[in-house]
Structure 1
């Protein structure tokens, strides 16, 4: 028996969702039971069919129910916890801080759509890796720089897709991009410790160098990437850049600027850290050649990760050092063992070698291109010229600037009230006062494509923007 309280202030779909969660967890709705058809339930509750559909989609996303062809939505098998009484609130509220329950839709940057992950092929690659390990006569520590077969496969892939020129001996396998930066910071421990990076830029990178007591220098970003005049004023040991898809603005550094940047690095003996974090995810043009592929002076430290293309939980990334830095790396890390599981390394090598990775990337582009196109079309239809967007055509995020009297914090708070979560971009600025007043970062992979229009219409009302 569902009850809607129109005076409670809670969204109607949230009330429907919560009622079904309570019924499922109490056992009133058992595994295999069918939920009412969306049209029938909408009529019974005197609400819109879209309202019921939103509640069902959230229940399905969290695994309480699943759609079945010809049967509508049915309840999944949910292990029940013994309790002295029915739960008074849902598990998602129990798992979250009391002041901030989980949102219906979370635009967190960095999360990826699990439904696109190539589970079957990855399972085969893991089994192949286990078989290869079983054939070994001894179990020993892996190569300190990472499994040779994986470094060979990544080197071949980077040559094909990004023009990166390197030997496997130049590569180090790491357990994530921040681990890569930790290694770089350590081998520059005896430098003057001046670190420059784009403004705005990824705060997770900045934190590494701040913790190593580097002096941080912000460098302005223009519509076509990092400002070369600002770069030329620097006195730095390291300059961190995202030239193929600047984070978070989405700007692409043109060839002329790339050559100027490389010339400056050679003249000043500065090393460039090129973070190619999502280079494969370009939707309407070919991937942009890497900065490293143009570098004839050996000044570029090339870094990449599988977090955006496969899964952040896989914790696998890599560094391609210029040959001039290999002695420094080996001097510092000559007694450090690899931090990445050999099983994961061998499975990934098999996955790349059999062509599974490139097939997965092609599918990923198709899925995310459609999602981004739906989001952009919805933004245009619902908000028109009251929102400006940057970063389209690539990647898994967009940067929004909202023409609104509300500040960034007020926009986020108003969205939170209706179960839609956004995140401040202020943390992406070394100098927070440079952050635009009404700017928001949207990571879109985990949001269902069909949900965008309803979300945006709700936001328009919450933000009091005229339609």
Structure 2
């Protein structure tokens, strides 16, 4: 998303998400922005969930500055310990939230179907601006998905996917604790399809990724996700579990522990 914004030549004003609500809101106030891009359900890659009081403060900021909030709720369906907090869009009473969702995580990225729920004034402008545009998503795919959602199949599918990913999340966290113990810290909030693992001995990301690759285990550096890579969380890698089979998680983590700690 950052790349899309940069290619559109809009200036970026990053807001800190790891230093508490006050720091985040201070950055937002100082930004001068008219549009804030937010992922309240699970901030990527930190997995942080935006508290309710922060959501309320952000809505007040948008109203005060005549700004809009682009809420990307890409991972709301995957929460494993607590119930999801209400989306910003459901709290919005002033038409300040543009709600964005996707079927890539819960169904298939091959569909390439996302959606926007626009405030009424923006919806009218959207229709005027794009009245003659052609959707790249085939109409048949859209109709099949609509039928899938209205006949109850979507709800059944989502429950199955949620249960499967919950089992994988629980297996991953259990095996990490069992094999690495106090040598690592898991940075996660029971949301999403990945977590961050920080090695306490201070080794750089590149070494952790290289040693994992030598053991045929894929973990990912996180520096590229920080606007200023120099501020990234050190000794930390991203471990995903969306595309790995549940039975492969334990042997994979045991191989990773051997690669990192012998």
TM-score range, shorter chain: over 0.9
Distance in 2, Cα, partners of 1:342 & 1:223: 45
Distance in 1, Cα, partners of 2:19 & 2:49: 8
Matched, 1:369 2:154: no
Deviations 1:395-427 (A, max 9, x none): 211122122342101110111111112222111
**Aligned equivalent of 1:318:** 115
| TM-score normalised by length of structure 2 | 0.94
**Aligned equivalent of 2:132:** 335
Distance in 2, Cα, partners of 1:382 & 1:376: 10
The 3 A distance-change label for structure 1 pair 371 and 401 is same
Matched, 1:282 2:94: no
Match of 1:442 among 239, 253, 257: 239
Could you say which structure has the greater relative contact order, defined with CA pairs below 8 angstroms and 6 or more residues apart?
1
> Shift in Å at residue 340 of structure 1?
1.1
Matched, 1:218 2:14: yes
Whether the aligned pair in 2 keeps the contact of 1:224 and 1:252 (CA below 8 Å) is: no
Distance in 2, Cα, partners of 1:235 & 1:309: 35
Other structure's SS at 1:365 match: helix
Structure 1 alignment gaps of length 5 or more: 1-204
**Aligned equivalent of 1:459:** 256
Match of 1:380 among 159, 165, 177: 177
Whether the aligned pair in 2 keeps the contact of 1:399 and 1:440 (CA below 8 Å) is: yes
The 3 A distance-change label for structure 1 pair 222 and 291 is same
Matched, 1:354 2:151: yes
Distance in 2, Cα, partners of 1:425 & 1:214: 24
Whether the aligned pair in 1 keeps the contact of 2:52 and 2:85 (CA below 8 Å) is: no
Structure 2 alignment gaps of length 5 or more: none
Q: Which has the larger radius of gyration?
A: 1
Deviations 1:221-271 (A, max 9, x none): 037678222212220121100111222222221211111100001101111
The 3 A distance-change label for structure 1 pair 392 and 258 is closer
The 3 A distance-change label for structure 1 pair 464 and 308 is same
Matched, 1:244 2:41: yes
Whether the aligned pair in 1 keeps the contact of 2:202 and 2:234 (CA below 8 Å) is: no
Distance in 2, Cα, partners of 1:430 & 1:375: 29
Distance in 1, Cα, partners of 2:13 & 2:20: 20
**Aligned equivalent of 2:4:** 208
Whether the aligned pair in 2 keeps the contact of 1:224 and 1:251 (CA below 8 Å) is: no
Matched, 1:420 2:217: yes
Distance in 1, Cα, partners of 2:255 & 2:135: 48
Root mean square deviation of aligned Cα: 1.7
> Shift in Å at residue 448 of structure 1?
2.5
Whether the aligned pair in 1 keeps the contact of 2:49 and 2:189 (CA below 8 Å) is: no
Distance in 1, Cα, partners of 2:146 & 2:250: 40
Q: Within 5 A, what are the aligned runs for 1:27-426? A: 205-222=1-18, 227-426=24-223
Which portions of structure 1, spanning 4 or more consecutive aligned residues, are displaced by more than 6 angstroms? 223-226
| TM-score normalised by length of structure 1 | 0.54
* Aligned residue pair count: 261
Whether the aligned pair in 2 keeps the contact of 1:223 and 1:251 (CA below 8 Å) is: no
